[in-house]
Amino acid sequence: MYLILVGLGLGLGAAVPIGPVNVEIARRTLARGRWAGLFLGFGAVTVDVLFAVATSLGLSRLIPKETLTGKFGFVGVAICFILAAISLGAAWKAYKFGVPEQADKETNSAATLAGDYAVGFGMTALNLYTWIWWLVTVPTLAAQQFGTGGKESGLDLPITCLGVAVAASGWVIAFTTIVNAMRRFAGRAWHIGADLGGGVLLLGFGFWALWRLL
């Protein structure tokens, strides 16, 4: 039970903080329904679980902190700026031409949902916060908790990672459910506000990450 609770805490710590992924989940759920947000969120969850496995196997000891300022960080910044431009462009179109009335089944094809999953995976894998959380913060917490020389069971890794998967997936399901419920009241102003606010936040995250890298 303790390992499950540790995994739940790590999963929530990775998934809950407001960041580019949660902003994009909210935007896509408002625009195209719950499935779009779920697939993007589950792409992010996949990365968190992979990081949990890698950290548990000692990856943090093999990757120096200087690697966090490598080229991949600038790719993550570029993704934030690109998504910000798309968000702001969508806000302008909604303001200028209105919000198109399209059924979810028409906008959520298999290829589109696969693209949502890929965006969630890529955003999380290239997010500087993700790397700092799993390769710096989590090992520090683990050293404080397990650094007394106690023996670890072979089941520790899968149990902890199960907790991470459950917590992160639970957050995605709950968050998309709430945002999707708000769609009933989402008129033109809601869509404009979501796209405009999302674009500004994504720009902010991009500049923050760029400042950290530089």
What's the number of domains the chain is made of?
A: 1
Specify whether the CB–CB gap between 192 and 94 falls below 8 A. yes
Residue 69, pLDDT above cutoff 60: no
Q: What is the 3-state secondary structure (H, E, C) of 79-143?
A: HHHHHHHHHHHHHHHHHHHCCCCCCHHHHCCHHHHHHHHHHHHHHHHCCHHHHHHHHHHHHHHHH
Q: What is the pLDDT of residue 176?
A: 93
Q: What is the pLDDT of residue 117?
A: 96
Residue 149, pLDDT above cutoff 60: no
Residue 181, pLDDT above cutoff 70: yes
**151: helix, strand or coil:** coil
Nearest alpha-carbon partner for 186 in 105, 123, 99: 99
Model confidence at 15, pLDDT cuts 50, 70, 90, reads: confident
Whole-number Å distance between alpha carbons of 138 and 58 = 11
Residue 77, pLDDT above cutoff 70: yes
Residue 153, pLDDT above cutoff 50: no
Whole-number Å distance between alpha carbons of 136 and 187 = 43
Mean local confidence (pLDDT), 5-24: 78
Return the structure tokens found at 93: 């179109």
Q: What is the pLDDT of residue 172?
A: 93
Mean local confidence (pLDDT), 137-160: 58
Which residue range forms the structural domain that includes residue 8? 2-213
Return the structure tokens found at 101: 């009335």
Which residue matches tokens 């960041």? 19
Mean local confidence (pLDDT), 49-76: 69
Specify whether the CB–CB gap between 26 and 198 falls below 8 A. yes
